[in-house]
Amino acid sequence: VPSLLQVLPLLRALGATGLLLEYEDTFPYTGPLELLRAPHAYSPAELRALLSRARAQGLDVVPLLPFPLQFVLKHREFAHLREVKALPNTLNPHKEESLALVKAMIDQVMALHEDLQWFHIGCDEVYCLGEGEESKQWLQQQDNTPEKLCLSHIKAVATCLASSYPMVTPIVWDDMLRGMSEETLAGSGVPQLVQPMIWDYAADIDVEGKVQLIEKYRRCGFSRVWFASAFKGATGVNQSLTLIGHHLRNQLGWLQVASRSPADVLEGIALTGWQRYDHFSVLCELLPVAIPSLAVCLQALENGGYSEKVKENVEKLLGMSNLEIDTFMSTSLGTFPGSNILTLVTQVSFYLKSSVDELLERNRYVTGWFSPYHRKRKIIHPIIMHHFQPDAVSLLSKWNAVVQDLQAAMEQVFHKCTIEEWMEENVHPSLQKLQQVVDDLDEA
C-alpha cells in the first residue's frame, strides 16, 4: 500500500480522475469467504488508507469483482458451484447458492467503500456457460438460448447489486453482448440495469465498427457506455517490458471513436493495466515498468493526441530525459515512484539471457572444451580454463549484484510471492545455468 499511495498524486497530475480496482484474492474477505484471501491480502485498515487517499486526490474509486470467479471456484469448498464440474471458469447460474455467494462478496466489498457511483461486475469471457448439466436441460426448453442464459446471469448479478445499493450503477465488460441481436438485448431488461464497458486493446482498433456498436447499444436502451483501453499487458502473456507505442496507438484509436460518438453517450475510459492474463497465468509487465506507458496514454487522452509538447510534459512529470515510444528503452532512468525497478528490469530483460547465452553457447572454448560431456565427467584442460573462467566468474558476480539491487527495489513495492515468481520466471533460468558452469569449473 505505501508504494501505491506514492503513485496516486502522479496519476492525478497525469490526468486520471478515477481508480478501477480489481482486487481478486487481495480483498480482506471475512467469515465463510475468508478462505478466498491470498496470504498477502490487504487488511481492512490498509484498504481504508488507500481509498481515503484516493478520494483526497479527487479519484473516484470503482471496485471490480471479476464474475466469472476463477479465484473462488478453484477452491475445493466452492467447486460444487462450478458450471462445468472439472473447470473453475464459470459460476453455475442455476444454483441459488451461486447468487448468495455473489451477494455476500458484493456486500463485503461495499462495506469497505463509501460514496460509490459505479461497481464493475465483470461478466467477460464467460466460457463454458451453457455447458453444465442444468444449463443443458434449461436450453432444451422452448425459446431458451445461450444468449438468454448469459443475459439472465448478468441480470441476476446486476439486480443483486441494484436491489441493495440503488445509488450504484453496475458496469459490465461488453464482449458477451457484442454479437447478440438488438431484439434479444432490448428485450432482456439488461440495458436498463448496467453500463457496458467496450474493450479493445489492439494498436489498430476498428473505429468504424466501434461507432456502429455504440449506436447499436444506444438503440437497445443502454443509457451510457464506457471504453476500455490498455496501458500494459495485452501484448504478450509473459511480456516483461512495455512497448509504449502499441498502447499509445490504442488510445489514439479510442479518441477517434469518441470524436465520432454523441457527446452524452460516453461515461469515461478505463486504461486497464493487466498483471496477468487470467488467475492462473504468469505475471506480465510489473506496474513500475509500465508507468511511462501509463503517463503517455493518460496525457494523450487528456490532450486529445500526442505531440512533442505532450512528450516534454510526460518527461518532466516522470523525471525522464529520453522517453522512447517505438522501441524498448535500453536505458531508462527516471524519478517517478518505482523508476529504479524499471531501470533494473530493463537491464535484466535486455542483457541477462543474451550475455549468458553468449558465454555458454557461442564461446568456442566452452562449447569445444567444456561441453556437457566434459562437465559430467569433470574433465578440463588447465590451459583452456584460463580462456573463460575469469569471464564466467565476473559475469556471475555482475548479475548477482544487479539481481540483489532489483530484489531490494522490488521489496519496497511487492509481496514476497510476487518477487519470487518474477525471479523464477525471468532471472533464475539464466543465472542458474551460469552458476552451474562456475561450480562445474571449480570441481573440474
Which amino acids are annotated catalytic? 125
Q: What burial class does residue 204 get, using C-beta atoms within 10 Å of its C-beta: 0-12 exposed, 13-18 middle, 19+ buried?
A: exposed
Cell numbers for 304, please give them: 486529445
Q: Which residue has the cell 448479478?
A: 157
What is the CA 337 to chain-centroid distance, rounded?
Answer: 19
Residue 348 is classified by DSSP as I
DSSP 180-247: S-HHHHHHHSGGGT-EEEEE---SS--HHHHHHHHHHHHHHT---EEEEEEEESSS-TT--S--HHHH
Helix (H) or strand (E) holding 62: strand 60-64
The per-residue DSSP string of 112-174 comes to H--S-SEEE------TTTT-SHHHHHHHHSTT--HHHHHHHHHHHHHHHHHHH-TT-EEEEES
Closest CA to 40 of 404, 425, 420, 409: 420
Indicate the SS3 state at residue 308.
helix
Cα separation, 243 vs 325, in Å, equals: 7
How many Å apart are CA 69 and CA 75, to the nearest integer? 11
- Residue 150: all three cell numbers together: 448469459
- Residue 61 CA to residue 50 CA, distance in Å, equals 10
